[in-house]
Amino acid sequence: MESDEVKLQRVPLSQRPEWSDVTPVPQDDGPSPVVPIAYKEEFVETMDYFRAVYLADERSARALRLTAEVIDLNAGNYTVWHFRRSILEALDADLNDELDFIENIARSNSKNYQIWHHRRWVAERLGTDSARKELEFTKNIFSIDAKHYHAWSHRQWVLLALGGWEDELGYCQQLLEEDIFNNSAWNQRFFVITKSPLLGGLEAMRESEVSYTVEAILTYPENESPWRYLRGLYKGDTQSWVNDPQVSSVCLKVLNATNNCMFALSTLLDLLCHGLQPSQEFNDAVDTLKPSGPDQPDSDLVKKVCSILEHIDPIRANYWKWRKSKLSSAT
Amino acid sequence: MDCSAATPTVTQRDQWMVEHQVFQIYDLFASLPRNAKSAMLELQRDNHMEYLTKGLKRLDPSFSVLDANRPWICYWILHAIALLGEYVEPELEDNVIEFLSRCQDPNGGYAGGPGQMPHLATTYAAVNALITVGGERSLSSINREKLYTFLQRMKQPSGAFRMHDAGEIDVRACYTAISVASVLNILDNELVRNVGDYIVSCQTYEGGIAGEPGAEAHGGYTFCGFATMILINEVNRLDLAGLLNWVAFRQSRECGFQGRTNKLVDSCYSFWQGGVFALLQRVHSILDEELGNLHSGGDCTNDSQQTGMTSDISKGEEGSGGTLSQVDETCHSRLGGLNAHSPLNLNSIGYSFIKQPAEEEPLFHSLALQQYILLCAQVMEGGLRDKPGKPRDYYHTCYSLSGLSVCQYSESPDEDSPPLPSAVMGPYSNLLERIHPLFNVVVERYYEAHEFFATL
């Protein structure tokens, strides 16, 4: 509210009685600066007064208000945020108000490191009581941008530092229902099943997660996210990945049922490289995909897979060729 | 099971909109006669120069939101000019040196502007800008001793770095710290200690690297983390096959790179992801070793850490240091963990890396990426942009051109082999200067700086 009023009818600092004792300090840009910014008058004046209180290390209520004005003009000024924290500490300010302040700033632009670093600092001091509010805060951000990188980092930090894991898997589920292609939500899901103290960890969660992921793959086989997630579910346990019939069977299903078989082939290639003994069904499925042409036929399945990938995924042709060239040492 | 009729999700809708715009451009291009085609592919050098030099001299009020990033603007502009093979007037160069000196903190490091706190990102930008300007006055304006104490102050017990006093900790901070220390010849074991642990903890199940442990694999952080691991000679600790697989899949149908899985194409990733490929071209022996372990039945991530490495990165500098014959042994003892007197010259890794010829062809589609940069990111009036429909800016100009350079030289294993015309999309006059992919400065300017700081 206050900052809106200031914006509407800003009284220059030089005309405000409370600042009459302060001599503004101009920026020392030198006689012929490069990348000089043609600041507006308001920007110059606010920064000049800020410099004065910063240099005097004045940790006062008016200095706190001034930092809000500077941040409103440029939320990327980390020095101001840093100084604001030292003022908040000195004044022993109510940090709940600070949350509202940040929310206001984030409304216009939430994509800078400073806002989030500051938010983390505040939440850390407010402690576990603030967990719910922080989770809600990031939720609001995700309702506008469900892949907001800073907000996801913040949310993970909140969960680890302050708790609030209870509904997290459900929240991931909800976001994925809204947009199954949202890789940030898949990443969060991985974070939850590996880090949540309420769940049993990766191995305990594997079976139900594999079912969920397989279903997602079968719905949209062209969606890379669940394919990567599926591989992730066997992190550090490659042997189980190779041996789990659910993994090879989802590949086979996709190969047989759809035209979007790039990720199925890519997964099959990785499985073969890690020692999967393919059934005849795989040979048959891959044979039907073989590009027609005078190319010399590849003798074994794994080479065939590389050739098909090279053909159907030309933007990665170099990569698939390279993968093929590395096979000789494998077999 | 068939959901093609379902309402598209936000990701699908956004993706289709961008694809539509991009393919419209490609369709138009395909319909043009030959001479119009080559005109469309031509790098508008004069217009880019005009746009860039203008920014050095004056920025309009909208740049106030970048008031804490002015060394970055210097670097984006100066590096882009250097990539074009051009120079700025000597007087303007003097002004750059003078201005950045005003951003240099008396206690070391560079701030986002005069009177602000020193910050690692702007320190990286300032150092790269000064290297790009080159010359003794420029290089000697960097207070290395103070900078070293600044880096020490940013170093955390975990091994990672903070961006500024009481600032955030992330992979960016690690890269900018290690990069400037390496190029200024002040990298030592103390700065390196445990950085590798932190970076390894940021490699995700997808294969790419995140900004912090647990976060999502991301192009910018993947470049930063990967380059850091090379600079500290611990790259074998990453799952390189997984990293390569992830980054290979980031080149999208639109021919450019996306920053994350299922995100939109953006020209700046031409460098962040394209640069990862340039780095990979020189660590293939390590990658092969990981694959060897894989094929002998192990889980490559774990095995490679135990078997150690025989990194070739630091070879090839015979005569300019003399300590490198012991590299292999050092690597093993480093991995053993307890060698206090490492004979490995950490500061020569960047130099040896670029002197060693690339071991492999590029594993991304160089011509496709060049097509995206020239047809979709280039603004004919000057400057480059994220994607069609976005305005140009200095950041995207810098990183699109950096990515374009990576593409053009991707098939030239060393400096003695200039790119063939077939490797350069459009007229051969599109050819940019070569960069050092670990630091992203033009390689000639890097050599000058390396020589300068090696003797200090």
Q: What is the interface pTM, i.e. ipTM, of the complex? A: 0.96
- Has residue B26 been placed in a domain? no
What sign has the CA pseudo-torsion A235, A237, A239, A245? Answer: negative
This prediction has a pTM of 0.93
Task: Tell me which of A111, A133, A253, A290 is the catalytic residue.
Answer: A111
Bridge partners for B392 per DSSP: B385
User: Per the structure, how many domains does chain B have?
Assistant: 1
Q: How confident is the model at residue B327 (pLDDT cuts 50, 70, 90)?
A: very low
Instruction: Work out the minimum CA distance from B73 to partner chain A, whole angstroms.
Output: 7
Q: What is the pLDDT of residues A104-161, one digit of tens each?
A: 999 988 999 999 999 999 999 999 999 999 999 999 999 999 999 999 999 999 999 9
Residue A111 annotated to the active site: yes
Measure B454 CA to nearest chain A CA, in Å: 29
Select the residue of A85, A153, A322 nearest B215 (Cβ to Cβ): A153
> In this complex, which of A77, A153, A315 lies closest to B255 when CB atoms are compared?
A315
Q: Is residue B401 part of a domain?
A: yes
Q: Answer whether residue B21 is part of any domain.
A: no
CA distance B187 to B276: 22
Over residues B46-67, the pLDDT tens digits come to 999 999 999 999 999 999 999 9
Question: Is the pLDDT confidence value at B291 over 90?
Answer: no
- Residue A293's pLDDT band (boundaries 50, 70, 90)? low
**Interchain pair B114, A273: CB under 8 A:** no
pLDDT score for A8: 67
Place of tokens 């290979």: B248
Question: How many other β-carbons are positioned within 10 Å of the β-carbon of residue B420?
Answer: 10
What is the average pLDDT across B166-193? 98
Q: How far is CA B341 from the centre of its chain?
A: 30
Query: Which burial class, exposed, middle or buried, applies to A303 when counting CB atoms under 10 A from its CB (0-12, 13-18, 19+)?
Result: middle
Q: Identify which has the larger pLDDT, B158 or B306.
A: B158
Q: Hey, which residues 93-152 in chain A have their CB within 8 Å of chain B?
A: 109, 113, 116-117, 120, 146-147, 149, 152
pLDDT digits (tens, 9 = 90+) for A88-109: 999 999 999 999 999 999 998 8
Question: Which long-range CB contacts under 8 A does B121-125 form with residues at least 24 apart?
Answer: B121/B72, B121/B163, B121/B172, B121/B173, B121/B176, B122/B68, B122/B69, B122/B70, B122/B71, B122/B72, B123/B71, B123/B147, B123/B150, B123/B176, B123/B180, B124/B175, B124/B176, B124/B179, B124/B180, B125/B69, B125/B71, B125/B72, B125/B74, B125/B75
User: Taking the CA of residue B349 as centre, how many other CA atoms within 13 Å lie in the half-sphere pointing to its CB?
Assistant: 32
Asked if A187 and B206 come within 8 Å (Cβ–Cβ), the reply is yes
Q: Is residue B327 part of a domain?
A: no
Q: For residue B1, is pLDDT > 60?
A: no
Check residue A258 and give its pLDDT: 77
Indicate if B393 belongs to the active site. yes
Determine, for residues A317 and B365 on separate chains, whether the beta-carbon distance falls below 8 Å.
yes
Q: Show the tokens assigned to B33.
A: 């006669």
Of the candidates B287, B282, B84, B275, the one whose C-alpha atom is nearest the C-alpha of residue B175 is B275
pLDDT of residue B328: 38
Partner A, chain B 102-161, Cβ-Cβ below 8 Å = 102, 111-117, 119
Residue type, position A314, single letter: P
Q: Is the pLDDT of residue B127 over 60?
A: yes
Mean pLDDT, all residues of chain A: 94
Confidence class for position A296, pLDDT limits 50, 70, 90: low
* Domain residue limits at B360: 43-57+65-292+343-455
Task: State yes or no: pLDDT of B298 exceeds 80.
Answer: no
pLDDT score for B6: 77
B300 part of a folded domain = no
Interface contact flag, A183 B262, Cβ < 8 Å: yes
In a domain, B299, yes or no: no
Compute the C-alpha angle B167/B196/A233, nearest 5°: 100
C-beta separation of B258 from B268 below 8 A: no
| Predicted pLDDT at B139 | 98
Q: Is A220 helix (H, G, I), strand (E, B) or coil?
A: coil
Region A58-64: mean pLDDT is 98
- Catalytic residue (choose from B105, B170, B239, B266): B266
How does residue B292 score in pLDDT terms, banded at 50, 70 and 90?
A: confident
- Chain B residues in contact with A165 (beta carbon < 8 A): none
Contact B269, B404 (CB under 8 A): no
State the Cα–Cα distance between residues B260 and A200, nearest whole angstrom. Answer: 28
Contacts of B220 in chain A (CB under 8 A): none
The pLDDT, as a whole number, for residue B416 is 85
End-to-end CA gap in chain A: 70
pLDDT value of position B452: 98
The reply to whether B33 falls in a domain is: no
DSSP string, B15-78: HHHHHHHHHHHHHHHHHS-HHHHHHHHS--HHHHHHHHHHHHH-B-GGGGGGTT-HHHHHHHHH
Q: The tokens of A43 are what?
A: 């920007």
As a whole number, the mean pLDDT across chain B is 90
Q: Which residues of B touch A190 (CB under 8 A)?
A: 204-205
Q: Percentage of residues in chain B with pLDDT exceeding 70?
A: 88
Question: What's the alpha-carbon Rg for chain B, to the nearest Å?
Answer: 22
Residue B307: pLDDT above 90? no
User: Is B218 close to A149, i.e. CB distance below 8 A?
Assistant: yes
Report the CATH number that the domain containing residue B172 is assigned in CATH.
1.50.10.20
B321 near A CB under 8 A? no
Of A236, A257, A316, the CB nearest to B248: A316
